[in-house]
Structure 1
Amino acid sequence: MPDESTSHRRVRRLLGLAAGAASAALGLSWFIAPIAGSPGVLAAAAAESVEGVRLTIAPADGTAIAAGQPVRIQVEIVNGTDDAIRAGTLTLAVATDGLDDRAEVDAWLAPADGGSNLGTDEVAERATASLAAGAATTLEFTIPAEATSAEDPVVGLAAGLDVDGDAVSTATTIVANTRVPVETPAGLVLAFPLTVPPLATGLIPADRLESWTAPNGLLTRQLDAVSGAPVAVGIDPRVIASIRVLGDAAPESAVEWLARLAAMPNEVFPLAYADADLAAQAQVGLDAPLEPLGFEDVIDPADFPADAGEEPVATDGGATPAPGGTPDTAAVLDWDYTRTDIAWPADETVATGDLDWFAEGGLTTAILSPGNVEGGGDDTNAGARIEGRTAVVADARVTDALRDAAAASSDTAWRGATARLTAELALAGHDDAVTLLGTFARSAGLEADRVEETVAALAPGQWARPATLADAVGAPPTSRTLASTPEDRQRIENIDRMLQAERSVQEFSDVLADPAPLTFPTRRDLLALLDVGWFDQPEEWTSSVGTWLVDRRAVTDSVSIVPTSSVLVVASETGIPITIENDLPYPVDVVVEVAPSNGRLIVEETVEATVEAESRSTVQVPVAAGVGSGEVNLEVSLTSPDGTPVGTSVRIPANVQADWEGLGATVLAAIAVAVFAIGLIRAFRRRRRDRTAETTDTDAADTSSRADGPDATSRPAEPESTGRDALDEQGSPVAATSPDDVVTSDGPTGDAVPAPEPRGPIE
């Protein structure tokens, strides 16, 4: 041991470092001066800081110590900075007196006013080597027997790291003494969320199910950690539904995992689907918690073969749908839960009035984080009465240590956190019997290996006895006050936008004969984006929400009117062609409405149309000319069959010249008459020419006959007109024929010869 003066200086330095830890707990930060000769400036944070230099103190053997005997202690140094730490000195100290109650524990773990009223003894010191950036090292000490008392229920330990005379980091912790038995162990209820990492989809893809339910998969490790242990398990129904909807197509590992879950003897209760944020739903003004609308859109009947001759087979928890058909929504979600009245909102998200909203939705008991509740004091039963409602409140000390143990990144860190957990339970058990609640973080499933270790370390029951949620709820409740902590306003506004987008899709879906392909996945994905797990990934959540909103807008804009140029209306009654485009992979039914801007055009009726999937269709909307001619703007819009507007309206200019119809008809009639008259005239003239040609041919034949016949010279000549009218055989006058009108040919020469001289009339 060093001399007394050196020991006193180091004790004061440790107390000063402990005060620094308290400042860090209040959100402050402090920095050390540059180390001489070091490669850079080292920023040292307090022990609990995620970044910087961190010290962790833990028993080397197990998670508790036997005080009054030599004890092996390990201290882990983690350099989370960007610079190397030069060689220094690590000092270990012990509280001179045992810690008997929570007030002394608080004073030891977070001393105020720059020091502590608890005595401290330095018990060991070791030189440390330089530590590279991002590296970690563990040093071991032995505390002498006389440094601790066998009668102390809890021992306080402290460690400090100095480099070149400057304090770099410090840590304090508490450890339970196995030599002091707990006469009345506290009842301990553990609540574990069986969930998956946040996804943007309302169903888990088959490939991920296969991976997560494999022997070393995420879901398998969670089930291994809690199955059969004294842990109440909140199950995300999305996991069950994602396996069931696949039927025979589900991965074999997933089917086996679901059967194991059904056989698990633990208390089980449902979380909201996809572990959706209940407090946000209350604060955004919904009438009740959201639930999936259905799963029929993703169920393939081929994956559920019907066995006509078999009766439905019941399985544990309903893990497999009964043969003979596809499961409905109730069958997909059905499970044999221990209780269904539990609401487990995210930590510190519940505001005034939310508990009433939970209860109205059937969730009459809420699991609340310690930061959401005031009053009650130390070692208060988990059961509480808040705002007239039933609740179970997590214990802050137990829950903090439990979560640190589950998320520990090293064995030393896990032993240190678990040692602190058992010490807190040891102190709680010294008073009247109480039932405490410890809750794992929503992300605990990602560190399921440490969950199993932590639960196993508490199993012997020396420090606490296992209890159930029913025990906590049924115990006499403590009246406590809600610390109203509404969620961030920006988050609520984003969720409200999502709800409005979903309503738009629901209204738009009336264009389908079956709206399920649009509404069912929209609701499921909305619930997935409300997953409490997104709290740890705010940037990723904002990006996913933005993408989802854009996709919903694309759905509601997928049926639209194709804009066209100006149309000309020249008839009193006609049709306006309207082209409709459907980008959906489903046929849609729409109603086309046309509203003219003035009375020059009258729309006689709306037109219903069916547009096939991913195609265009043109319909004719009947219109009639009104009064006068001129420009008209046609406002063309679509609605669903029930009258819900679809897409955006389109304005089409039209030029109405309805009086052109009569003028055009007159012109066409005149043209028709003219053409007909011309045809008649041409026909009359043709017939006249034909008759003249016939007469000429006949006369020529007669003349030729007389000239060539044997009695041609003796036959008397035919009488010819002499200018007076001749008489026929009955004495009637015959029209005179001009000699010039008759031409004959003389034999084969074809020479023209004059007609014979006219003779006088026959007497």
Structure 2
Amino acid sequence: MLAAPVRRARRMFVRLTVVAVLGAGFSLAPSAALVPSAIAVENASGEVSVSIFPTSGAPVSDSQEVAVTVSLVNDSQKATAAGQVVVTTGSDLLGDAVALNDWLAKSDGKKKPGQWLGVLNAPALAVGAHAVITARLPLTNAYYGSSWGPRGLAADLEVGGTSAGTGRGVLIWATPGAPPAAHLVTLLPVISPPSASGLLSSEELSVLTSAEGLLTSQLALATGRNVTLAVDPRIIASIDALGEKAPAAAQSWLARLAALPNESFALAYADADIALQAQAGATALATPGFADQPQLVVPATPSPTASPVPDASANPNASPSVPTAVWSPMLTGIAWPAENSIVATDLSVIAPVRTQFLVLSSSNVAAGANSPALTSVGSQRTLITNFELSRALQATGSAVDDVHWMANVSLASAYLATTALNPNTQGDAIAALSRESLGDVSDARIGEALDRLNDLSWVDGGTLGKVISSASAPSTTVVDQPESEARVTIAQRLLENRDALARFSSVVETPALVTDASTRQELALFSVAWTSSKSWPLAVDAHLAQTSKTLSSIRVVPSSEIQMVGGQVNIPITIENTLTVPVTIVVHATPSNGRISVDSDATITVQGEAQAKALVPVKARLSNGSVVLSVSLISPTGVPIGSSVTLPVNVRADWESWGLGGLGVLFAALLIAGVVRTVRKRHDASAADALAADVRAGTHADVRG
């Protein structure tokens, strides 16, 4: 039996205008099409998902009834019988985003909170069925008072006296004394779907910039609307790299981008996830290079500063530099990591590279939902996007029908109302569109939602330049929101791969000719767009395999047994280089035994896609026989290149020649010794004869005397 207030509500005048029941075959997108914590109940408990919102989204006053729409989706596992929806409302002003979040999250724990507005008949629902009920309800019992702003709506589906699902929504109570309008700044990513291409191919650009292409759709959303463009520099570089060979559609698209008056800034190259790089262990963020693309003109890298106001002459981004074609952004020095991905230690890696302003979600900082649009995290000035507003606006693009679209427009308008009311926000609200669900949203529907929001009396268009130039930046801190362990593990493999290639590139006079293309591909694999893609690990594996092939591009060509004849020879070793650029390599050989010794290493330059012979000087030592020569390659800076190769050597030292030479030397020595002996004998005989003559002469003298 219903309580007395419910019976009274039944007697209230309720004019039911539409009841539409869609059969069980109706296909409904997942609850992510709504804002799960706000619009509909997640169905883990098997309940029917219920949502409620003002039908027109327009504000209401005490002289009006309120037109409400209730959506029922039976995504449980069993059919439900016919029942009734009890509609109630909260009287209290939801004056800031925290209060609004609490209401939508049902923090009060009540199924029928606040005042009763009416009871609506609900049809039976087969599994998968969707019913939409619209009705006009009087606000006699609302008791909203005189304060302008959001008030809560609630709907409870009862079947057989038991609650089968509840939902919450919001309306705007319009009274005199409305606050100044909130300034809505919308960040629109201009990016391509996940791809491992360091430079987009002509075929990719043709598809993306075609009449139905994603990039064309993004520009259509920006045209005539006050949105700030966050552009992936890879798109510009790709068109520039193709030059006159770029598809006509891509060239036309670039011209339209350059002609737009919208504020803009450059994302990291390929919209690489800078938080993921930092958490994977990078001590510095990777920057793209174009040494292998001589047709591109890369500007000098300026210091990492940001333009506080739009400046059409500004360089495309503080760092890294990218080629400039027709387009360059108005704002510089802005870094935008993936939503809810930053931990405090990331800032020391990110800040030195390109950042005067960091863009973080309100759920990634301690200030939370009521954070102003510009804050300071330590010494880092930080732009704060409104997480809930962003999700509601994004959901308008994935809404399966007008009902779900309007539910999210209504929710977005409520968050903008809290921005207008809350003095801490300074009236600025930044909404960020998703960089992950590309292709799953309708940019046209998001554009319609922006038009509807900007038509509201409490909303006007803001600019990021104005937010940046604000003198006030209250301090807050990072609430750590680390990347998933699985993503970090895969990212670490990419960083290890980067380091290995950097070491290998020392064989080239200009290492960037080897590393730049790979670095661009790596940045593409770090793209935020890969975050929810199940194919990301496979794409990473393919890139690692490609790098492994590069690391094996210089090798020693195996040979048959080398015949070494003689005591000292130069052994020829063939080196193959499959890179397109010349390499300088040091050839080091080590014998397996003492039959030979290697005098020194051999240094050789091998042209691109060619072979050359290095001559390694060796000496034979003691005997003939077999030796295994282990040959390894080293870069001029001492980095091992590739794997060592063993070459068999048969030593024929030619000791017979050495022996004959030795005998010859011995014979010569004996001959010389004989000559010396003969000379000495003759000299001794001559001396004896002289002495005898002297003796005889002396004797004769004595006799005469």
Q: Say whether 1:399 aligns with 2:393.
A: no
Q: Which residue of 1 aligns with 2:318?
A: none
Residue 466 of structure 1 aligns with which residue? 461
> Separation in 2 of the partners of 1:68 and 1:148?
12
Q: 1:441 is matched with which residue: 411, 414, 434?
A: 434
Distance 1:54 1:173 in 2: 13
2-side partners of 1:216 and 1:318: how far apart? Answer: 31
Gaps of at least 5 residues in structure 1 are 11-42, 302-315, 320-328, 667-763
In the TM superposition, what is the alpha-carbon distance from 1:430 to its structure 2 partner? 3.1
Q: CA deviation at 1:173?
A: 0.9
Q: Secondary structure at the match of 1:297?
A: coil
Which of 111, 120, 123 pairs up with 2:118? 123
Cα drift, residue 635 of structure 1 = 1.6
- Distance in structure 2 (CA, Å) of the matches to 1:452 and 1:160: 32
1:229 maps to 225
Kept in 1, the 8 Å contact 2:436–2:531? The answer is: no
Moved more, 611-620 or 635-644: 611-620
Give me the TM-score of the superposition, normalised by structure 1: 0.71
| TM-aligned CA distance change 1:332 to 1:296, over 3 Å | farther
- The higher relative CO (CA closer than 8 Å, separation ≥ 6) is in 2
Q: Which residue of 2 aligns with 1:361?
A: 353
- Which whole-Å CA distance do the structure 2 matches of 1:375 and 1:431 have between them? 13
Matches within 5 A, 1:79-98: 79-80=74-75, 83=77, 85-95=79-89, 97=91
Displacement of 1:368 after TM fit? 0.9
- Asked whether 1:427 is paired with 2:421, we answer no
* SS at structure 2 position matched to 1:232: strand
Picking from 57, 64, 70, the partner of 2:52 is: 57
1:248 deviates by: 1.1
2:93 corresponds in structure 1 to 99
Cα separation, 2, equivalents of 1:48 and 1:665: 103
Q: CA deviation at 1:359?
A: 2.9
Map 1:298-317; keep pairs closer than 5 Å.
Answer: 299=295
Secondary structure (helix, strand or coil) at the match of 2:338 reads: coil
Q: What whole-Å deviation, never above 9, does each CA across 1:249-277 have from its counterpart, x for those lacking one?
A: 11111111111111111111111001111
Residues 668-722 of structure 1, C-alpha deviations (whole Å, 9 max, x = no match): xxxxxxxxxxxxxxxxxxxxxxxxxxxxxxxxxxxxxxxxxxxxxxxxxxxxxxx
Q: How much has 1:557 moved relative to structure 2?
A: 1.0
Q: Does 1:241 align with 2:237?
A: yes
Asked whether the 8 Å contact 2:115–2:142 carries over to 1, the reply is no
2:4 pairs with 1:4:
yes
The letter of the residue matching 1:390 is R
| Corresponding residue for residue 276 of structure 2 | 280
Specify every segment of 5 or more residues in structure 2 that has no aligned partner in the other structure, as ranges: 11-29, 298-311, 316-320, 662-705
2:556 equivalent to 1:554: no
Q: Where does residue 671 of structure 2 map in the other structure?
A: none
Is the 1:57–1:416 Cα contact (8 Å) retained in structure 2?
yes
2:480 maps to 1:497: no
Q: CA deviation at 1:527?
A: 0.5
Q: Which amino acid aligns with 1:449?
A: A
The TM-score normalised by the length of structure 2 is 0.76
- Does 1:108 pair with 2:108? no
Paired residue secondary structure (2:418): helix
Which amino acid is the alignment partner of residue 268 of structure 1?
S
Question: 1:547-696 to 2 correspondence within 5 Å?
Answer: 547-564=542-559, 566-584=561-579, 588-609=583-604, 620-640=615-635, 643-659=638-654, 662=657
Evaluate the alpha carbon distance shift between residue 181 and residue 255 of structure 1 in structure 2; reply closer, same or farther with a 3 A threshold: farther
SS at match of 1:487: coil
Equivalents in 1 of 2:113, 2:124: separation in Å? Answer: 31
Q: Deviations over 1:482-517 (max 9, x none)?
A: 213343444334323322322322333454566555
CA contact (8 A) 2:254 2:327 kept: no
Q: CA deviation at 1:618?
A: 5.5
Counterpart of 1:710 in structure 2 is none
Change (3 A) 1:628 1:636: same
One-letter code aligned to 1:548 = H
Change (3 A) 1:249 1:525: same
Task: Map Cα deviations across residues 151-194 of structure 1 (whole Å, 9 max, x no partner).
Answer: 56334222334556654432111122456662322333222222
Residues 1:212 and 1:136: Cα distance change in structure 2 (over 3 Å): farther
Identify if the C-alpha distance between structure 1 residues 389 and 331 changes in structure 2 by more than 3 Å, giving closer, same or farther: closer
Measure the CA separation in 1 of the matches of 2:177 and 2:412: 16
Find the structure with the greater CA-based Rg. 1
- Paired residues for 1:713-752 under 5 Å: none
Residue pairs, 1:540-551, within 5 angstroms: 540-551=535-546
Contact 1:444 1:451 in 2 (8 A): no
Post-superposition Cα deviations, 1:49-74, rounded to whole Å, max 9, x if no partner, equal: 38875333233334555564233322
What is the match of residue 667 of structure 2? Answer: none
The 8 Å contact of residues 91 and 122 in structure 1, kept in 2 or not, is answered as no
Would the alpha carbon gap of residues 106 and 282 (structure 1) be closer, same or farther in structure 2, given more than 3 Å must change?
closer
Q: Match for residue 524 of structure 1? A: 520
Does the C-alpha gap of structure 1 residues 252 and 665 become closer, same or farther in structure 2, counting only changes over 3 Å?
A: farther
Whether the 8 Å contact between 2:365 and 2:477 is mirrored in structure 1 is yes
8 Å CA contact retained: 2:152, 2:168: yes
Q: Counterpart of 1:124 in 2: which secondary structure? A: strand
Matched to 1:358, the amino acid is I
Match of 2:71 among 76, 83, 93: 76
CA contact (8 A) 1:64 1:178 kept: yes
Q: Percent identity?
A: 32
Answer whether contact 1:561 1:579 (CA < 8 A) is retained: yes
Deviation, structure 1 residue 229: 2.2
After superposition, the Cα gap between the structure-2 partners of 1:236 and 1:390, relative to the gap in structure 1 and judged at 3 Å, is same
- Mark the CA change 1:553 to 1:50 in structure 2 (over 3 Å): closer, same or farther: farther
Q: 2:90–2:153: 8 Å Cα contact kept in structure 1?
A: no
Residue of 362, 366, 370 corresponding to 2:362 = 370
SS in 2 for 1:654: strand
Separation of aligned partners in 2, 1:54 and 1:281: 39
CA contact (8 A) 2:556 2:576 kept: yes
CA RMSD of aligned residues (A): 3.7
**Residue 384 of structure 2 corresponds to residue 389 of structure 1:** no
For 2:404 and 2:177, locate their aligned partners in 1 and report how far apart those are by CA, in whole Å. 25
Superposed CA offset, 1:574-633 (max 9, x none):
343434344445665544332224442122444455656666666553422123445533
Secondary structure at the aligned position of 2:587 is classed as: strand
The aligned residue for residue 326 of structure 1 is: none
> 1:10-60: per-residue Cα shift (whole Å, max 9, x none)?
9xxxxxxxxxxxxxxxxxxxxxxxxxxxxxxxx999934388753332333
Taking the TM superposition and a 5 Å limit, the aligned residue runs for 1:30-49 are 47-49=40-42
Q: Give the direction of change, closer, same or farther, for the CA distance of 1:627–1:177 in structure 2 (3 Å limit).
A: same
Per the alignment, residue 140 of structure 1 pairs with 134
Match of 1:131, SS state, is: coil
Structure 2 Cα separation of the partners of residues 335 and 363 of structure 1: 21
Render the CA deviation track for 1:92-131: whole Å, top value 9, x for unaligned. Answer: 4021525342465344322336327942415132232433
Q: Deviations over 1:436-456 (max 9, x none)?
A: 322222236542223212221
